[in-house]
Amino acid sequence: MRNISSPQKDGEETEWCRPRGGGLPRHATLLKDPTTLFASPDLRCINDMPTAVDLGIHELAAAGILVDQQPTWLIPAVRDLERLRTMPGSVGVGDVRPLLVRLFLRDSGIYAIASCLSPLCSLLLTPFLTRHLSARDYGMLTLLTTTLALLGPLAQLGLGSAFVRLYHQQVSGLCERHALLTTLTLLVATFSLCVAVLLAILAPELSCLLLHGVDGVPLLRLAALQLFLQNMGIPAFTWLRARGRAAAFVALSLLNLLLTPALTFLFVGVWQWGDAGVVLATCGGCAGALLGSLTLFNYRVRWRVSWPLARHLLIYGLSTLPAACSVWVLQLADRYFLLAFGTLAQTASYSIAYTLGNILGPLVITPFSLAWYSALHALARQTRARELFGLVFRWYCIALLVMVFGVSLLANDILRLFFPPSYTLAAPIVPLIALSNVFFGLFEFFNLGIVLRGKLRFNLLLLPLAALINLGGNCLLVPAFGGIGAAGATLLAYVFLALLACLVNQHLYPVPLDLALCAAGLLLGGLYYALYQWLLPLDQPLFHCLATASLIACYALSLWLLSLPGGRKRK
For the chain, count helices (H), then strands (E): 27, 0
How many whole angstroms from its chain centre is CA 178?
29
End-to-end CA distance of the chain: 51
Beta bridge partners of 32: none
HSE of 148, CA atoms in CB hemisphere, 13 A: 26
Of 49, 43, 45, the residue nearest 20 (C-alpha) = 45
C-alpha–C-alpha distance, residues 498 and 494, integer Å: 6
What DSSP string runs through 439-483? HHHHHHHHTHHHHHTT-GGGHHHHHHHHHHHHHHHHHHHHHHHTH
Residues 6+ apart with CB under 8 A from 149: 66, 67, 68, 328, 331, 332
Beta bridge partners of 3: 16
How high is the mean pLDDT in each 10-residue block of the chain (571 residues)?
36 34 32 28 30 34 33 38 50 54 52 58 86 91 91 90 80 79 92 95 88 80 94 87 72 84 94 94 92 73 80 87 86 91 90 88 76 72 80 89 92 89 90 93 88 78 91 95 94 94 90 90 92 74 83 92 66 43
DSSP state of 213: T
Q: What predicted TM-score, i.e. pTM, was given to this entire model?
A: 0.78
C-alpha–C-alpha distance, residues 75 and 81, integer Å: 12
